[in-house]
Structure 1
Amino acid sequence: MKNIAKLSLFIIFLASLLVLWTISNPVLAQAMVLRENASNQCIKTSRIKINSINPTPETNPLGAYYPGFRGNNQLVIYTPGFGEYTNTNEFGKEAIVLEDKVFGFCGSNCYIPKNGFIVSGHGSAKKWINERLMEGAIVKINQNTMMLESTITPESYLYKAGQRINDSKKVIVDYKRTLPGYQSKISENYLNQAIQKYNEARYILDKSQYEAGRDLSNMALKMADMSFYYAVPAVQNELHGVWLRPIEKNQAEIVKTLDRLRRTGIDNIFLETYYQGYTIFPSSTMATYGIKQQRPEFEGWDPLQVWVNEAHKRNMKVQVWFQTFYVGNENISRNSKHTLSVYPEWANFQRKNADSNKPMPSISEHNGYFLDPANPNVQKFLTALLTEITTNYNVDGLNIDYIRYPKSLSQNFSGYLDTTWGYTAFARAEFKAQYGKDPVELELSDPLMSKWVAYRQDKVTDFVSRLRSIVGDKNIMISTVIFPGHQDTATTKLQNWSVWAQRGYVDAFTPLIMSSDKYMAGNSVREIRSLAGNNVCILSGLFEPFTAGSPADLIGQIASVRSEGSSGIILFDNAHISDDFIEALSARILRKD
């Protein structure tokens, strides 16, 4: 009996150790909580480690050279103490939390609410946000353990459905008041069904029938979504575009893609034609310069010609999406035909690597390499490539992307100067010849610093000024990809786009609006319009598909940018436009009929 008692105590001891070990293991702890709560009123609780709260380069060194100081696979919390916005890029996901409840989501650079905080994730942390958070989820931060806890209850689903019902009601009321002849019958039919299911769900939840209540809430949400999709009317003569990196291997696949997009009302394909330093078509310019003539996956045929031909058959246009100063992130030492393998002197250099004898990538820009806008041979090469395209193909537009320097930190952060770009042998020599000082020697307080900033801005502007002569008298629209937030963009990316509008160098701006916040989207268009005047049209670039957002949020963004004078929208990007987005867009908002 004593042996049995000892054995029992030993088993209890081992079980205790197992419990302690499991709790200390976040993955198993999360699994235990989910199993326990699966039978407890349909509650789902999840936890994840917080990497940093209000990160800085010093407190979060792994994120020091990334936008918002959020590193790879990190989950970061931003409170009002960080600033007004998170300053993150489009490769993450952010949840807006008000009073410990998820209010909504944002793709990047979220506004940080005064009475809340932002949960921001990249990589695996982004995946966690997508899978473990929703509107109405309860979120708690434990700063002692640096853990974030999310709890989704049946009421969370009801909360989300209620939000969408209110959104649809508001839109219908607004259009009835402001748009003569507005048709709302279909939208209101869906809305009435949503309200009915919502009330049923609330009643069932009050009876503690949680699973049935959750299911009814989801039905209410679906009806409310449909109401919202049909509430926002189409606008005539509005450009509807999509950025598209081609993966189609033949004419039949191109036709299939075009037909799918055309059904939604999309009429402009912004076709990635020159990207990561290679063309999709067999280029004589590339061959002349000794660079690989065509992307290897397209060798043996000319996809650009097929895209143009098939698009025009469908009354769709093809805009050439062109990565100007960005040449990709492959290991250039393994490719003797890469642009920077053939012309290493064309590479852009960061100040901290100014004396390096080999090209260095930008950590914060996909570990990618950039060309030097100041180098006249770079501009000559790119001019020749664009001339070849506009001469040999009946394209409808040029969409000039990466028309800037690589991003640096903002001036108010320590270490700013070391993160700035443009310190190439050519630029340093030319600037010194003009102003008597090597820019590497400049400090922020130096009177010549403003000259150095303007020098690099002007080099980008010089290339933009060439575009009219490249196009000539052809009916080709010239647009440039820009970033909202002009003051920051002009210093961190050296993209002084307001000058391009004032001087009439371009026809349109395609701003990258990476936030899911419809108000921020509208504000971005308003800012651009205030600086550009009516000299350019604004084609708002919306990232909701790319950031795994919701179709309803995309519809809200489109309505918002329209109200601020956007002449069209471009979706980023085709690869992420799921059937849910197709359903939403084809309901009413982009229809031409």
Structure 2
Amino acid sequence: MRKMKKLISIVFLGFLFFLCSCDNNQTFNVKFIGLDDAIILEQTYQKNEKLIYPQPTEVKGYTFIGWDQDIEKVTDNLMIKAVYEKKVYTVEFKTQFGEVIQSKEVYYHDMIIYPNPPSLEGYHFMKWDQDIQYVCENVTIIALYQEVTHMISFQTQFGDLIAIKKVVHDEKIIYPEAPVIEGYTFIGWDYDIAYAKSDFIITAKYEKKIYHVTFQTQFGEVIDEKEYAYLDVIIYPNPLVIEGYNFVSWSSNEEYATKNIEIIAYYNIKQFSVTFIGFDENIIGKITVNYMSPFVYPEAPIIEGYTFVGWNQNVIGVKQDTTIVAIYEKNNIDVEVVHPVFSNIEHVLLLDGIIENRSNEQIQNLFVDIDDERVNYELDTNNSFSLSISTSFEKSSIIDIIFYIELNNGEIIKIYEEEYLMYIEIKTSNYTSYVNDFSLNDPLDITEILEGFNLQENHIITIDNIIYGGYRGTNELHAYDSSNYRKCNSYGHEIAIDQDGFVVESNTLVDLPANGMILSGHGTASTLLQKNIQIGDYMVYNQMEKKVYVYRSAVINSLISLRESIFLAKEKLIKAYNTLLALDYQTLFSIYNQVLDDFATILVQYDNQMVTQIKNNLAKLHFGVIETKFLEVKAFWHYPMRATGYPENNKNEVCLFLNQVKAMGFNTIYINTNFNGGTIYPSKYLTQLKANHFVYDGYNDYLECFISEAHNRNLRVVAWSNTFVCGDGYLPNHSPSKYVSLDYQGKNNSGNIYFYDITNPEVQELLVNVYQELATNYDLDGIEYDFVRYPASNLYTFSGNITDSSLIDDFGYTESAMRLFKENYQVEGNIKDLILTSDEIRAKWQTFKVDNVTNMVKMMSQAIKEANPNMMISAAVMSSLSGAIQTYAQDFGTWIKEGYVDNLDPMIYSGSNAYVLSRIESFIETVNGDANIVIGISPDNSGGNVITISEQIELISKYVQIGFNEFSCKNIFSSEEIMSGFMMLEREYNATIYDDSHTIRKKYAQSMLDRITNYYQYTSIMSNSKELIKLYNLLYSDLIDISLVKTELNKITNETIKNKLILEVEYIEMILEGK
């Protein structure tokens, strides 16, 4: 047993020894792990082998602080991790001026939280100089600021801009010199602000000057004395009654107070007519004698069968019109015509009466002379007569009827004489008509049709940066609704969006639709709206995003646009009918119903051709509601050979063009004869640029053909010239560079338009010769100056020293001009340097330029009048006289007062009817009757359309004294709509104030006969229509004075119509008196 135990022990010890030997040979895997579980090192170790730690990996933004296990010998598989901590960096925020805003310590790669930048007076925060999101190093971030500037605008109380100054915040404001305004005294600025704190408008306030007006007789006796404020209406007193004298006139016809003035009442000694009446009330003689002056009696005529026995009174002098009758005693023959009755029906003259013979002689025959043609007639037993005589008169005429009798003894005696009015009605035109019932239906509703469209299928554009409400600033786009609506000025463009999101109106200014909104843009935003938005567009406005999404369907746009235009036409037609405008209501009613029928058709089957027909008919309706004046310049500016469809390359093509012009109601064409330094006609002085290779049968050149054929159609032709332009788009070879004006910087063009240097004597001689040649060689009705000015200048906006000369935009700095300026104003030194430093020199320079333009106008006009004293001279000018002088050196006020220019065409180019109206009224007041006015319009180039053209012509038609001139043929003849509209203005009785007196009276009579015969007589306002028809027929034949018509017009019971017609006839009287 003991042996067994010993054996077991030995075996057990051997086993243990084996085990120990196996353990000493064991290996283990050791991994060293980095920050992102990346293996730094992987090694195999024997058991109990000493562990060697590797060099830790460097990690950006972190600091190694040790290993997660501290082991000396390896006894197992190991994974040992390197332990890191984030580095700490300093983030400092400062202003650009070095002031610390904030400084803090931030761990690596933590997000940087930017503080709110501090507010600094006079500066506004722009941005941080670095856009860092996460920390990776020590960093200093700078807040960048921009100095605040304010726009200080100076204007007059009348709205004219004086200057705009850009002023640094809290900088002292330098006030400009207030402009001198005729009739007003500058009394100060409405705000006395020393330093700029914000954008601000400062207004120059003026008060009217007071003038003393004295009325006295030519003999020195004072009638009245009064003081008036500038432009107050001068109330003329009743002239003193002086025995033996008639008051003739006042020495002045000043209507408004503009200066201290003595107005003299002039008298003539009274004169009276002394009429000597002979036998049968025949006038023997008629003399005019002064108050109580002696006169000589005439010799009484010898009357067969009578003896003169003396005068019924024998006076030395008279105190009133006096009739003195010759007294005769009958001889033994006593015959007279009793109860004569004369009448006429059409062209047959009827004469009835009795010859009463109270003498002893028997009447053998009766002779009747009618305008020296004798009719022989045998009397019946009762000595009665009844004659029916056919005449050949084509119009009303005054005829002489004389009765003679032949006695048995062969003696022929005149027994009766009378002037008889042979009244014949002329054929009237039919441009007006009356309808008893003018009920107009609405166009069909399109709501269900619109619901069938996917309105957001075709996205056109997204417009952003839309400001909700507020004041509309430069280049800004604003959204207005009923909660924030404000009316903007007319220097922009607006679109109206109805409650369903559809654009229903696009114009300079629009009305706010019920529950809808308006997008209103200025500058670049205005252009954006005009170019990208159409009536009928569908819009989705997101106020939070400040965006509007625009969608378009051509069909929807068309339907909405047409329907809105139909409603507008209906509104105008009803207003015209209710206000008794004399229009062709039968035609308008027919066209309107045709439009409704066609609109209903396209709702079922949309057709582009029918849409065009609707548009053309709508244009006719909008033009058809214009009660066009018979006496009015109806003109357009014409670029030769550039009217679409009318090349004018030969006589036939010129005639076709003029026929179309005539059919569209125009009576005047302003044809561009001089442009780009050249001409449309052969000239000794300028290069002919067009029509020089074409043949015009029967004529020497294109212009002669155009003028002659226009005159054959009663169309006036005015030569429209780009007066001071020697290059347009480029400087042509035929315009010498030495002739060209330069700006302050030495540049020779303004927007690629090159202007003559009008101080250059060679240029002056050239222009004088050009206009004298034009007036001499062509039978023109007028010549118009255009571009008769300097390019735009901003020199008047500066005051004090100009520190940045690059801001100056001003022309005229040629050697010729600066030398002349020095001579005229006795100035020495460098003109450009003086311009920078002296307000006085700048003011004199501006005056110098104004005088240059005026002197050039004077020279050209004198040359024209020498060639043709009757030539009308016109000028296309700016609509504000003060602005024209300041910006363009264009003093047209002086031109018209001095008689250099007869007619002005103010270019009032705007799509805003309200703006056009305000400028018209202001311009009429400025001109004050010193010139004729033709308003230049171009709404279709300024955000308007064919409807706007008609509305502006209608505005102009309400003023009796002005006409219109549409710019230009390129727009008119490229649009079938516009042409269709103008054709509604065609009238047979189309005249201008430049026609002769006979033509004006005749056309006026035709116009009124059309209105009365075809319209007014069917209304209840003109009970005396038959008498008026007779009078206008007589006026047409020059048989009565126009004053008789005026007397009858005053009997019309409707005050509105009466006043309108009286105003018209008084204007015609004034025109005729001036002929």
**Residues 322 and 296 of structure 1: is their aligned pair in 2 closer, same or farther, counting only changes over 3 Å?**
closer
CA distance in 1, matches of 2:705, 2:538: 51
Identical amino acids, percent of aligned pairs: 21
Match for residue 843 of structure 2 among 444, 450, 470 = 450
Matched residue, 1:118: 521
| Alpha-carbon distance, 1:449 to partner | 2.0
1:534-584 CA-partner distances (Å, limit 9, x unpaired): 111221222245568532221111011222456222222212222221111
Q: Which residue of 2 aligns with 1:360?
A: 748
Relative contact order higher in (CA < 8 Å, ≥ 6 apart): 1
Q: How does 1:465-504 map to 2 (within 5 A)?
A: 465-472=858-865, 473-504=868-899
Matched, 1:313 2:685: no
Residue type at the aligned position of 1:346: Y
Q: CA deviation at 1:236?
A: 0.1
Q: Aligned partner of 2:931: which letter?
A: V
Deviations 1:264-305 (A, max 9, x none): 11122211111110011111123xxxxxx3216524662111
Counterparts of 1:251 and 1:190, CA distance in 2:
35
Q: Is the 8 A contact 2:538 2:552 kept in 1?
A: yes
**What amino acid maps onto 1:391 in structure 2?**
T
- Tell me: CA distance 1:160–1:129, structure 2 relative to 1, closer, same or farther (3 Å): same
Q: State the shift of 1:235 in Å.
A: 1.3
Matches within 5 A, 1:172-571: 172-176=573-577, 178-179=579-580, 181-191=582-592, 224-247=618-641, 248-286=648-686, 293-295=687-689, 298-299=692-693, 302-329=701-728, 331-332=730-731, 336=733, 338-340=734-736, 344-353=737-746, 360-363=748-751, 367-409=752-794, 418-433=808-823, 434-436=825-827, 438-440=830-832, 441-443=834-836, 446-472=839-865, 473-544=868-939, 549-564=944-959, 567-571=962-966
Aligned equivalents of 2:812, 2:466: Cα separation in 1:
31
The CA deviation string for residues 15-36 of structure 1, in whole angstroms up to 9 with x for no partner, is: xxxxxxxxxxxxxxxxxxxxxx
Conserved? CA contact 2:679–2:690, under 8 Å: no
Distance 2:893 2:477 in 1: 31
Relative to the length of structure 1, the TM-score reads: 0.71
Query: Which structure would you say has the larger Rg?
Result: 2
SS at structure 1 position matched to 2:767: helix
User: 1:239 is matched by which residue type in structure 2?
Assistant: V
Q: Secondary structure at the match of 1:258?
A: helix
Contact 2:671 2:720 in 1 (8 A): yes
- Matched residues in 2 for 1:279 and 1:422: separation? 25
Report the counterpart of residue 8 of structure 1 in structure 2: none
Deviation per CA, 1:237-257, whole angstroms, max 9, x where unpaired? 111212111122222221121
Q: CA deviation at 1:444?
A: 8.1
Aligned length: 498
Q: Deviations over 1:303-335 (max 9, x none)?
A: 111111211222212110111111223544xx5
SS in structure 1 at match of 2:748: coil
1:327 alignment partner AA: C
Q: For residues 543 and 726 of structure 2, what CA distance do their matches in structure 1 show?
A: 42
Structure-2 separation of matches of 1:147 and 1:389? 57
Deviation at 1:506, TM superposition (A): 1.6
- Match of 1:419, SS state, is coil
Change (3 A) 1:141 1:304: farther
Q: Which residue of 2 aligns with 1:64?
A: none
Range with greater deviation from structure 2 (391-400 or 188-197): 188-197
Residue aligning to 2:322: none
| TM-score of the aligned structures, taking structure 2 as reference length | 0.41
The answer to whether 1:40 aligns with 2:428 is no
Mark the CA change 1:175 to 1:505 in structure 2 (over 3 Å): closer, same or farther: farther
Per-residue CA shift, 1:189-241, capped at 9, x if unaligned? 4446667888999xx8xxxx9x9799999998776544323222321011121
Cα deviation code 1:172-194 (max 9, x no counterpart):
34434555645433334444666
Give the Cα separation in 1 of the matches to 2:668 and 2:612: 35
> Structure 1 residue 85: deviation in Å?
4.8
* Paired residue type of 1:277: G
Contact 2:750 2:791 in 1 (8 A): yes
CA 1:368 to 1:587, structure 2 compared with 1: closer, same or farther past 3 Å?
same
- Please identify which structure carries the higher helix content: 1
The answer (yes or no) to whether the contact 2:490–2:912 under 8 Å persists in 1 is no
- Deviations along 1:47-105, whole A, 9 cap, x unmatched? 1788999xxxxxxxxxxxxxx99xxxxxx656699x94548xxxxxx554579975644
Q: Secondary structure at the match of 1:285?
A: coil
Work out whether residues 105 and 516 of structure 1, in 8 Å CA contact, stay in contact via their aligned partners in 2: no
Which structure 1 segments of 5+ residues have no match? 1-36, 54-67, 70-75, 88-93, 287-292, 354-358
**Measured at CA, do residues 500 and 104 of structure 1 come closer, stay the same or move farther in structure 2, by a change above 3 Å?**
farther
Aligned equivalents of 1:120, 1:142: Cα separation in 2:
23
The offset of 1:470, in angstroms, is: 2.4
C-alpha distance in structure 2 between counterparts of 1:398 and 1:325, whole Å: 14
SS, match of residue 754 in structure 2: coil
Match of 1:386, as an amino acid?
Answer: Y
CA contact (8 A) 2:772 2:860 kept: no
d(CA) in 2 for partners of 1:398, 1:558: 23
The alpha-carbon distance between structure 1 residues 590 and 347, as it changes in their structure 2 partners (threshold 3 A), is: farther
- In 2: Cα distance, 1:351 partner to 1:98 partner: 47
Inter-partner Cα distance in structure 1 for 2:881 and 2:466: 28
Alignment check: 8 A CA contact 2:615 2:977 kept: no
Write the letter of the residue equivalent to 2:977. Answer: D
- Of 188-197 and 372-381, deviating more is 188-197
Instruction: Give the equivalent residue in structure 2 for 1:573.
Output: 968
The equivalent residue for 1:10 is none
* Partner Cα distance (2:757, 2:466) in 1: 35
After superposition, where does 1:150-189 map in structure 2 within 5 Å? 150-152=550-552, 160-161=561-562, 163-176=564-577, 178-179=579-580, 181-189=582-590
Q: What is the rounded CA distance, in whole Å, between the counterparts of 1:45 and 1:38 in structure 2?
A: 17
Instruction: Pick closer, same or farther for the CA change 1:161–1:112 going to 2, 3 Å.
Output: closer
Q: Is the 8 A contact 2:619 2:977 kept in 1?
A: no
* Distance in 2, Cα, partners of 1:199 & 1:386: 57
Query: 2:854 and 2:465 mapped to 1: Cα distance?
Result: 40
- Is 2:983 the counterpart of 1:586? yes
Q: Which has the higher strand share?
A: 2
**1: CA distance, partners of 2:543 / 2:760:** 50
Asked whether the equivalents of residues 503 and 538 of structure 2 are also in contact (C-alpha less than 8 Å), the reply is yes
The alpha-carbon distance between structure 1 residues 38 and 550, as it changes in their structure 2 partners (threshold 3 A), is farther
SS at match of 1:257: helix
User: How far, CA to CA, are the matches of 2:614 and 2:976 in structure 1?
Assistant: 20
Q: Give 1:404 shift.
A: 0.8
* 1:46, distance to aligned residue in structure 2 (A): 1.0
Alpha-carbon distance in 1 for matches of 2:466, 2:694? 50
Q: Which residue of 2 aligns with 1:135?
A: 535
SS at match of 1:253: helix
After superposing the two structures, state which structure 1 stretch, 440-449 or 536-545, moved more. Answer: 440-449
- Aligned CA RMSD, in angstroms, stands at 4.4
Look up the equivalent residue of 1:512 and give its one-letter code.
Answer: M
| Alpha-carbon distance change, 272 to 230 in structure 1, aligned in 2, over 3 angstroms | same
Displacement of 1:512: 1.8
